[in-house]
Amino acid sequence: MPGRERVDPAELRTAVRAWRDAGDQPPRPVLAAAVRLSLRTLEDIAPGRSVEVRVPPFAAVQCVEGPRHTRGTPPNVIETDASTWLALATGTLSWSEALSTGRVTASGARADLSALLPLLSIE
């Protein structure tokens, strides 16, 4: 996205660690920061507009090269909750497991993030 600074990897790591360290009920601002920074990181590493990744109520991004979507519902949509997204982003949950258990919904031929995940690992 022009004019937007890339995510600082240290800031992302700090936000994700704060989420992890908060346990089962992280405060909303902690959860929001980790989701937004990780989605922006996905957007940075897979620029494009052919897939929309939604993590309501915190954020949605368009990513992955391919045919650009311009009107209505995008043809390639991925949606999940915040905890599932962060588990995928950190590699504690695999893409295939998230799909098979219904924790992620994905529609469209390009709606597969398995090659892009995890975004980071945290110890």
Q: Provide the token pair at 45.
A: 């590493």
pTM higher than 0.85:
yes
Please provide the distance, in angstroms rounded to a whole number, between the alpha carbons at the two ends of the chain.
Answer: 30
| Statement: residue 51 has pLDDT above 90 | yes
Instruction: Report in angstroms the alpha-carbon separations of 29 from 14, 26, 62, 99, 105.
Output: 13, 8, 23, 27, 25
pLDDT in tens, 65-92: 987 766 767 789 999 999 999 999 999 9
